[in-house]
Structures are given as C-alpha cells and as structure tokens.
C-alpha cells in the first residue's frame, strides 16, 4: 500500500512539473509571493473551486506565487471599483486597454515593467507577438502592460455577428447591406416574435463603417477622435461625434430602434440583453473573429442548433478591415507593487501563456475531470461552467477547437486577417495628462447626451444640437488639438 501511494505521489509530482515552463527556477524555502488576479464577469461555481484549489496549487508549485482570483462586474472595468482600487494602492493585476492605460499612466496608477519584463516574460515575448506587441503598451518608451494572447482579430467590433441558422431558416444566405439586415429582421421577427434584435454589447456605430456613404475608412483612436485607416501616412484626426459618419450611424440606429431591432432597455438594462442573448433569444451582437467560438459555445447550452457568423456590411476592398496586432488584451500591475513582488506578478502572467498545457489548464480545467481530448486534437467538455473566458488567453499557437466547430469555421478563422491593413496607431499611446480634465468632462457628456443617440433611442434631430453644445463646453476642441499634436508627431516619426 505504501509503495502504491509513493508511486501515485511521484506521478502527481511529474504531472505538476510538466506544467513548469523551461528555465523556471523554483524558490525552495522562500515564502511565496502573494498575487491577486482581477477578472471580470460572473464567477462560475466550478471556477470558484478551480481557482481556490487546482489553479492555486499549480501556480504555487510552478513559480512560488500564492494566487488569489477575484471577480468584478464588467461595469467596474476601466473605471468604477477598478480605478478606486488603483487609486488607493491595492496590489493586483488585471487587464487593460490602450485608452485606460493612457489614463492610468497619467495618474501614476500602473507599475513600470520596463526593467523586469525581458527576463521574466520570455514566453509572452515568444508567443504573444514579440517586441512589436509590447511596443503597443509603452508610454514614452516605458512598458506599463504585458500583451496577452495571439489571434487574428482584424475588424474587431467592426462586424455584425448574427444567427446564421435563423438566416438560412428564413431563406437568406448573406448580409452585405443595411437593406439585407433590415429584411432579415423583418422575416425573423415575423417567424420568431419572441426574439430581440441587438443584444449583448448594444449598438456600436462601427459595424456600419463599410456601409457609410463616405470614402473614409473610419478608425476610432479613442471614443472621441477618429482618423482615416486608408491613409497610413496621414496624421489627420477629427472629432468623431461631429462627423457626417456619426450622423449617418445615428440615423440608421434610430430607424432600427423604431423598427424594434434595438430594445428600449439596451442602455438601462444591459444584463437583460445579455441574458436574452445567452438564452438564444437574440439575433445580433457586435462581431469579432474569435467571438464566433466563444458565443456559440455559450448559446448552444440553451439552444444546441444555434450557429453564429460574422458579416461585414460593405466592400472590404474599399474599406479593408483593420488589425491592432495579435494580442487579445494586456495585463497591467497596480503601481505600488515593486521589487520581488512585481517580478512574481510578471511571472504569473507569463506562466499563463507559456505552453499548450497551461492554456488548456486555465481555459478548460483538468483533463478527465473537466474535459477530454479527441485524437484529432479537438475536445469534449464534461464541465459546462465557464472557467477563464475563452477570448482572454486565445492564442493561435495553442488553439484547440471544440468538436462542434466545422472545417469552414476553422478555415475562416485561421485566414481571417488576409487582406487587412494595420491600424495606424500601433505603437502609439496617447499621453492624457495635458487634457485629463477635458477627458473626464467629455466622458460625462458622452454618457448623458451621446450614448442615447448612438443606441438609436434619441434621434439625431432631437439630440444633436444640445449634445454638441455640451461637447464644446467640455473641451472637445482642446482635446482634439492635443491628440492631433501627439499623433502627428508619432506618424512623422514613423515616416522618417
């Protein structure tokens, strides 16, 4: 019996050691480094148990980091409680975006990772886009976030994702124009009156970019400033909310709202929209290449026949999709973390993208308990609870497909970026410091006056005059001028 126990222990230790990245030096005898990982959304029952036990124990064994996982609602991302925790000096790591990064760096909320990433993030450098991906997260040459994931993502949020199964069911085979979308809604709503149109994510005007009566390929540099993606050598920017393209977007959204395509509660009760989407009772959402797998997997639990597909409204040859690079997101560490503790945080994020085994582990759990792998490399889920959201660690180097994914879906995904162009701001990070006051005021105006128009609830005629007056009072001209200055300097430096 003792011999059998020793053999089992040795086998378990071997499995744990196989997950340790090559070159990791164990800190024998040293107290573990504490680390808190903040994720967003709802923590499933299995994820709670997984984070406390299997994930915690394997991370501790691999890099001597004592990991705690904490969840916040998505409403707290890039503001809210997240910003409060940063401002009060709490120690944690969480994901960020370029706009929030600029804001946080200007306020001193993020730790400088420049001196610790090269030695401790070798796997991120190898598998997540190389130095070019890291350059995206630098401000004035200093690194403030670690790129994470690696996937084809051209046209992220510029696509309409729709229920392909219902599209075929009503006798249609494609969505290429605004008229196609409206026809599909009318046919589907007649046959399935209980279904809503737009749901998770609400209405994003950029899904209409290809259909705008405009030669400009609109690329939004942030919520307020846009540039022409078809003019890579031009540093010209302008106020998006004051553009003719925004007017067109609001007019279309308002028509869709009047048609019933956009529910009246899209702004006031986003959780209801999410619930209807996840229950299979919605036709549309905002698209991205990888979301087909994420969303279809979730919705199939309620409706096994659900099939999603991305549609581009317009002509890609005239307005090609734009790619921000390969990363899924980036992780930033709060500013008060330093020394060995900061190194521990960098090692943690690096570990989670270090191998097929680690990506499988955080996405799918324990093989045999949470999932099984087929001979062809696809997998079958035993556990139906979500662990880490599939979009987060998605990496083409470690990609697995569920057994329901078709060859056509795989081919579409793997060749998604063909014909795309790079976003003009790759490697650029806006320093918000000179206009931080204006930015805060603009955000308040956006929420109160522009979001209802963007969602189609308020018409352009009824809302624009007052909204743009408030925008001017908030300092949009100064904000655009400063953005123009910094972005032009960036473009000029690239063109030398």
Return the HEC string of the chain.
Answer: CHHHHHHHHHHHHHHHHHCCCCCCCCCCCCCCEEEEEEEECCCCHHHHHHHHHHHHHHHHHHHCEEEEEEEECHHHCCCHHHHHHHHCCCCCEEEECHHHHHHHHHHCCECCCCCCHHHHCHHHHHHCCHHHHHHCCEECCEECCEEECECCCCCCCCEEEEEHHHHHHCCCCCCCCHHHHHHHHHHHHHHCCCCEEECCCCCCHHHHHHHCCCCCCEEECCCCEEEECCCCCCCCCEEHHHCHHHHHHHHHHHHHHHHCCCCCCCCCCHHHHHHHHHCCCEEEEEECCCHHHHHHHHHCCCCCCCCEEEECCCCCCCCCCEECCCCCEEEEEECCCCHHHHHHHHHHHHHCCCCHHHHHHHHHCCECCCEEECCCCCEEECCCCCCCCCCCCCEHHHCCCECCCCHHHHHHHHCCCCCCEECCCCCCCCCCHHHHHHHHHHHHHHHHHHHHHHCCCCCHHHHHHHHHHHHHHHCHHHHHHHHHHHHHHHHHHHHC
371/392 same-domain check: yes
Per-residue pLDDT at 6: 42
Q: Does residue 97 carry a pLDDT above 60?
A: yes
In a domain, 13, yes or no: no
| Mean pLDDT across 45-69 | 97
Domain encompassing residue 227: 159-325+415-422
| Mean pLDDT across 32-45 | 95
318/380 same-domain check: no
- Model confidence at 180, in pLDDT bands (50, 70, 90)? very high
362/437 same-domain check: no
Q: Does residue 221 carry a pLDDT above 90?
A: yes
In a domain, 382, yes or no: yes
Highest mean pLDDT among 339-343, 381-385, 420-424: 339-343
What are the pLDDT digits (tens) for 139-162? 888 999 999 999 998 999 999 999
Per-residue pLDDT at 432: 87
Per-residue pLDDT at 5: 45
Per-residue pLDDT at 377: 77
Ranking 97-111, 216-230, 477-491 by mean pLDDT, the lowest is: 97-111
In a domain, 427, yes or no: no
| Mean pLDDT across 206-216 | 97
Q: Does residue 9 carry a pLDDT above 80?
A: no
238/353 same-domain check: no
- Model confidence at 23, in pLDDT bands (50, 70, 90)? very low
| Mean pLDDT across 185-192 | 98
Ranking 95-99, 158-162, 184-188 by mean pLDDT, the lowest is: 95-99
Q: Which of 448, 438, 447, 443 is nearest to 473 (CA)?
A: 438
* Neighbour count for residue 128 (Cβ, 10 Å): 27
276/340 same-domain check: no
Q: What is the mean pLDDT of the chain?
A: 92
Query: Under 8 Å CB-to-CB from 120, ≥6 apart: which residues?
Result: 343, 346, 347, 350
Q: Does residue 26 carry a pLDDT above 80?
A: no
What are the pLDDT digits (tens) for 310-356? 999 999 999 999 998 788 899 999 999 999 999 999 999 999 999 99
| Count of domains forming the chain | 3
441/355 same-domain check: no
390/254 same-domain check: no
The CATH number covering residue 255 comes to 3.40.190.10
In a domain, 12, yes or no: no
Distance CA 430, CA 240 (A): 17
Q: Does residue 47 carry a pLDDT above 50?
A: yes
Distance CA 438, CA 103 (A): 12
Instruction: Judge whether 74 and 95 are in contact, CB under 8 Å.
Output: no
Q: Does residue 132 carry a pLDDT above 70?
A: yes
Prediction pTM value: 0.77
Could you give the maximum distance between any two Cα atoms of the chain, in Å? 82
168/298 same-domain check: yes
124/180 same-domain check: no
- Model confidence at 391, in pLDDT bands (50, 70, 90)? confident
| Mean pLDDT across 395-421 | 92
In a domain, 175, yes or no: yes
Distance CA 286, CA 158 (A): 7
| Mean pLDDT across 177-195 | 98
Structure-token pair, residue 251: 């007019």
In a domain, 487, yes or no: yes
Per-residue pLDDT at 3: 42
Per-residue pLDDT at 400: 85
233/134 same-domain check: no
Give the CA angle between residues 135, 138, 143 to the nearest 5°. Answer: 105
Per-residue pLDDT at 28: 57
Per-residue pLDDT at 139: 87
In a domain, 2, yes or no: no
Q: Does residue 16 carry a pLDDT above 50?
A: no
In a domain, 133, yes or no: yes
**Residue 495 CA from chain centroid, whole number:** 30
Share of the chain above pLDDT 90, in %: 79
Highest mean pLDDT among 22-31, 239-248, 426-435: 239-248
183/302 same-domain check: yes
Structure-token pair, residue 352: 């989670």
Share of the chain above pLDDT 70, in %: 94
44/142 same-domain check: yes
Of residues 223 and 3, more confidently modeled: 223
């Amino acid at each position: 019996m003792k011999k059998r126990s020793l053999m089992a222990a040795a086998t378990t230790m071997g499995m744990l050691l196989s997950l340790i990245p090559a070159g990791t030096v164990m800190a024998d005898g040293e107290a573990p480094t504490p680390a808190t990982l903040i994720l967003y959304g709802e923590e499933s029952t299995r994820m709670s148990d997984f984070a406390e036990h299997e994930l915690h124990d394997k991370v501790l064994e691999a890099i001597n980091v004592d990991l705690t996982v904490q969840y916040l609602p998505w409403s707290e991302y890039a503001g809210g409680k997240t910003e409060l925790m940063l401002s009060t000096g709490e120690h944690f790591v969480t994901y960020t975006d370029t706009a929030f990064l600029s804001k946080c760096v200007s306020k001193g909320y993020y730790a400088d990772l420049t001196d610790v990433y090269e030695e401790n993030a070798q796997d991120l450098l190898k598998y997540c886009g190389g130095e070019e991906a890291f350059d995206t997260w630098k401000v004035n040459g200093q690194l403030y976030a670690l790129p994470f994931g690696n996937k084809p993502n051209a046209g992220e949020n510029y696509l309409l994702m729709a229920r392909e199964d219902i599209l075929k069911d009503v006798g249609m085979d494609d969505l290429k124009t605004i008229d196609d979308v409206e026809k599909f809604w009318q046919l589907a709503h007649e046959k399935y009156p209980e279904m809503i149109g737009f749901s998770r994510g609400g209405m994003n005007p950029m899904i209409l970019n290809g259909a705008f009566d405009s030669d400009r390929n609109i690329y939004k540099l942030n919520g307020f400033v846009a540039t022409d993606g078809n003019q890579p050598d031009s540093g010209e920017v302008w106020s998006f909310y004051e553009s003719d393209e925004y007017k067109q977007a609001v007019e279309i959204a308002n028509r869709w709202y009047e048609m019933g395509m956009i529910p009246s509660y899209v702004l006031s009760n986003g959780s209801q929209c999410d619930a209807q989407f996840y229950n299979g009772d919605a036709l549309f959402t905002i698209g991205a290449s990888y979301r087909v797998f994420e969303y279809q997997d979730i919705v199939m639990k309620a409706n096994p026949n659900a099939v999603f597909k991305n549609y581009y409204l317009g002509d890609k040859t005239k307005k090609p999709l734009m790619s921000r690079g390969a990363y899924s997101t980036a992780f930033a560490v709060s500013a008060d973390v330093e020394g060995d503790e900061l190194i521990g945080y960098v090692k943690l994020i690096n570990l989670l993208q270090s191998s097929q085994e680690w990506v499988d582990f955080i996405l799918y759990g324990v093989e045999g308990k949470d999932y099984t792998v087929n001979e062809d490399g696809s997998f079958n889920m035993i556990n139906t609870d979500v662990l880490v959201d599939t979009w987060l660690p998605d990496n083409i180097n470690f990609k697995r497909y569920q057994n329901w994914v078709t060859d056509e879906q795989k081919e579409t995904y793997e060749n998604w970026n063909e014909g795309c162009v790079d976003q003009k701001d790759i490697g650029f990070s806006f320093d918000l410091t000179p206009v931080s006051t204006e930015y805060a005021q603009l955000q308040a105006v956006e929420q109160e006056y522009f979001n209802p128009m963007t969602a189609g609830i308020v018409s352009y005629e009824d809302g624009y005059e007052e909204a743009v007056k408030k925008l001017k009072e908030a300092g949009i001209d100064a904000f655009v001028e400063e953005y123009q200055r910094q972005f032009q300097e960036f473009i000029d430096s690239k063109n030398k």
